């Protein structure tokens, strides 16, 4: 199906072609016509499926086809959970709007940086605003933002927006919006909390579920992502990682670890081993994070070692390899980590390091993902420790009997971590 059949105006078709879209992805082919006709949409599609353009293109067109209003009151509002995703969606929106005349003004707002430039940017109004809930509320409090004219609301990564610490801010924003509006929910997973919110807000929505979507608790990952599970003792993971990178000549690798400290430590060890490696986590300033991502996309770093901060909303074109140095705490997080590679139809490789203490944890992730991978050993790195289900079942934050995978009820540590993350996002 060509883009021309979706009902987009020529200026957006030209921008889509220049952006690299030769034909619409499945989520784009289904969502764009639905949004253009004014329907509410509940869309489920895996990360890397092209869902950002699936809502940005029709939102831009709906603003473009309507007569301009004095003061450029906001008519399109896109809510995202993280600073990085806000910047990324804003960049996509501005690129796709470049040939529209008059060009819609796209503003981006997120915490962690000074609010003053964002106040200045909104002084002349905006047509579409992309932002995180906390900073948007700050802008409303400064009288820089009025939301009573919003006609289309987009919740991108809707599941993260309902994580502990986001729900209250989201509800405050929703109370500022007009009742009559179009609502679009896009996410890779739809846990019960998102489904409940969707039921309250969406009116006769068009439901879209792309077939290659990996559900929150089960279902294999899409074919472009090849997975490997490698057995290794914990203390030898860094040496093995360096060996794999050099042996297979991996050009860019995104490595997931459990903590900010681990990100710094592993990156430093790799850097000392003649690899260009750096860290990426919430403890860095916003400027440092943006710079690290920019340089990684430009292939100036061989390895970026990150926490789950980079598990969602980070689009790195043609990223060949993702490594779970530490296993994710939940099966849902596994989906999003792996989703950083194999994007937009490209092939990708995901490697998970499994130790004796995390084997039961890994088996439950496999079960919830509906997959079964053969465990490998690498010559010279065969594990010496014996598997221990008991050790895995007592992993920090694990629910009893889950093999180390985090249960549904947040622990005290989860709540403290979420509160710290919220404070960080609001800047």
For the domain made up of 3-209, give the CATH fold.
Answer: Rossmann fold (3.40.50)
Question: Looking at residues 228-244, what average pLDDT do you find?
Answer: 95
Is this structure's pTM higher than 0.85?
no
**Looking at domain 225-426, does it have CATH number 3.40.50.300?**
yes
What's the pLDDT score for residue 386? Answer: 64
* Domain positions in the chain: 3-209, 225-426
- In this structure, what token pair is assigned to residue 36? 């253009």
Name the β-bridge partners of 306.
Answer: 256, 280
Given a cut of 70, whether residue 344 has pLDDT beyond it is: no
**Higher-confidence residue: 213 or 209?**
209
pLDDT in tens, 354-394: 999 999 999 999 888 888 889 999 999 999 876 544 344 44
Comparing 22-26, 305-309, 320-324, the range with the smallest average pLDDT is 22-26
Contact by Cβ (8 Å): 405, 398: yes
Question: Looking at residues 86-95, what average pLDDT do you find?
Answer: 90
SS3 content of the chain, % helix, strand, coil (to 5): 45, 15, 40
| Topology match between the domains 3-209 and 225-426 | yes
């Amino acid at each position: 199906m060509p883009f021309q059949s979706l009902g987009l105006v020529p200026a957006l078709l030209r921008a889509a072609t220049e952006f690299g879209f030769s034909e619409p992805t499945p989520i784009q082919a289904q969502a764009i016509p639905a949004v253009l006709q004014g329907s509410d949409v509940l869309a489920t599609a895996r990360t890397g499926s092209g869902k950002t353009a699936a809502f940005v293109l029709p939102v831009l067109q709906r603003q473009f086809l309507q007569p301009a209003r004095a003061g450029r009151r906001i008519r399109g509002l896109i809510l995202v959970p993280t600073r990085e995703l806000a910047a990324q969606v804003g960049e996509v929106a501005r690129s796709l709007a470049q040939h529209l005349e008059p060009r819609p003004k796209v503003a981006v707002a997120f915490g962690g940086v000074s609010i003053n430039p964002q106040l200045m940017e909104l002084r002349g109004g905006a047509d579409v605003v992309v932002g995180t809930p906390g900073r948007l509320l700050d802008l409303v409090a400064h009288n820089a933002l009025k939301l009573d004219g919003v006609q289309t609301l987009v919740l991108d990564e809707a599941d993260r927006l309902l994580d502990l610490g986001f729900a209250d801010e989201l509800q405050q924003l929703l109370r500022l919006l007009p009742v009559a509006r179009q609502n679009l929910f896009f996410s890779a997973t739809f846990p019960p909390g998102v489904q409940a919110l969707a039921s309250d807000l969406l009116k006769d929505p068009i439901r879209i579920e792309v077939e290659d979507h990996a559900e929150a608790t089960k279902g294999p990952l899409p074919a472009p992502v090849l997975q490997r599970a490698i057995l290794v003792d914990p203390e030898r993971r860094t040496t093995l990682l360096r060996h794999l990178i050099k042996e297979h000549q991996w050009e860019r690798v995104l490595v997931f670890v459990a903590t900010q400290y681990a990100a710094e430590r592993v990156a430093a060890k790799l850097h000392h081993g003649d690899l260009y490696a750096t860290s990426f986590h919430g403890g860095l300033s916003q400027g440092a994070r943006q710079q690290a991502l920019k340089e990684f996309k430009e292939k100036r770093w061989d390895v970026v070692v990150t926490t789950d901060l980079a598990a969602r909303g980070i689009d790195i074109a043609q990223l060949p390899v993702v490594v779970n140095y530490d296993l994710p705490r939940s099966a849902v997080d596994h989906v999003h980590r792996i989703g950083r590679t194999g994007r937009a139809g490209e092939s990708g490789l995901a490697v998970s390091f499994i130790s004796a203490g995390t084997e039961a944890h890994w088996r439950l992730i496999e079960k919830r993902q509906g997959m079964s991978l053969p465990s490998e050993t690498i010559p010279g790195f065969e594990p010496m420790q014996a598997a221990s289900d008991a050790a895995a079942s007592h992993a920090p934050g694990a629910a009893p009997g889950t093999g180390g995978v985090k249960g549904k009820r947040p622990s005290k540590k989860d709540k403290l971590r979420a509160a710290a993350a919220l404070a960080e996002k609001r800047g």
